[in-house]
Amino acid sequence: MRIGKQDQAFTAIATSDADSITVRGNDLCDDLIGKIDFTDYFWLLVLGDRPSQSQRAMMDACLVSIAEHGLVPSVQAARMTLAAGPDAWQGAMAAGLLGMGSVVAGSSESAGRFLAEIQSDAEERGGDLEAAVIAHLEVLKAARKKVPGLGHPQHSDGDPRANRLLDICDELGLSGKYVETLRLLAKHAPQIINRPLPINVSGAIPATILDAGWPLEALKAVPLLARTAGLAAHLYEESLRSIGFIMSHKADLAISYDGKETSASNTKKTA
């Protein structure tokens, strides 16, 4: 993007005047409120058109699959932030969302971009998707890097969330190149990387929702929106029965200091 004067100062999302609010060409009060569910509205806001029934169902499934997974780091950050500032829900929510990087939740975007790279490479190879998959796996092995969208520290025999999402995508008739690419990765990765690497939910979400027509550039919005709902549940519970300082105390006990000792500490040890 060019810094400085912008040539096109426009937005196609929403506008308002004294009498009405227009969102993507719809009157907010007459056309949307009470007449559209939130998943449809999310799709409409981002893409400008309402989803088909199958697209809505796939988005619903993806949002439900990733909304909650226990006391993961982003949830702990949010709960400890609220414990320290009970009046700052917005700060606690922000702390949780900021903790969703390339390792937790944001890994869906990384996997989606990886799938897109493989497909682009396949086109250069004359459409040989399987050859492109194998080549990318060999590159990752040589670099000793993880395979985006595969493997899980807890669900080593297969991520049940991923399996369900893929089944739904098949049932809805949406499975296409992204799901095919992911399944080829799962087919060849164990032999090339030399360990079990089942498809995880961070691979299934981008594969299924991209095949449903969601744009790659907006992929990160899906886990962010989903985890916002999960964080709301944790922050509400934190406001009723706080565990933020308990988690903080447990962390303090779990981590040992291995830095430099003071002179007084050394004297005690030798006494």
Per-residue pLDDT of 52-89, as tens digits, reads 999 999 999 999 999 998 898 999 999 999 999 999 99
Give the CATH architecture of domain 107-218. Answer: Orthogonal Bundle (1.10)
pLDDT given at position 264: 67
Domain assignments of the chain as residue spans, ordered by start: 10-50, 107-218
pLDDT in tens, 178-224: 999 999 999 999 999 998 899 999 999 999 999 999 999 999 999 99
Which residues is 16 bridged to in the sheet?
21
pLDDT in tens, 21-42: 999 999 999 999 999 999 999 9
Q: How far apart are CA 124 and CA 128, in angstroms?
A: 9
Which residues is 21 bridged to in the sheet?
16
pLDDT in tens, 1-19: 566 677 778 899 999 999 9
Task: Give me the mean pLDDT over the 140-168 stretch.
Answer: 89
Q: How far apart are CA 261 and CA 271, in angstroms?
A: 15
222 and 214 Cβ atoms separated by less than 8 Å = yes
HEC states along 128-149? CHHHHHHHHHHHHHHHCCCCCC
pLDDT in tens, 217-260: 999 999 999 999 999 999 999 999 999 999 999 998 999 999 99
Q: Please state the pTM of the whole predicted model.
A: 0.90
Tokens of 218: 């907006």
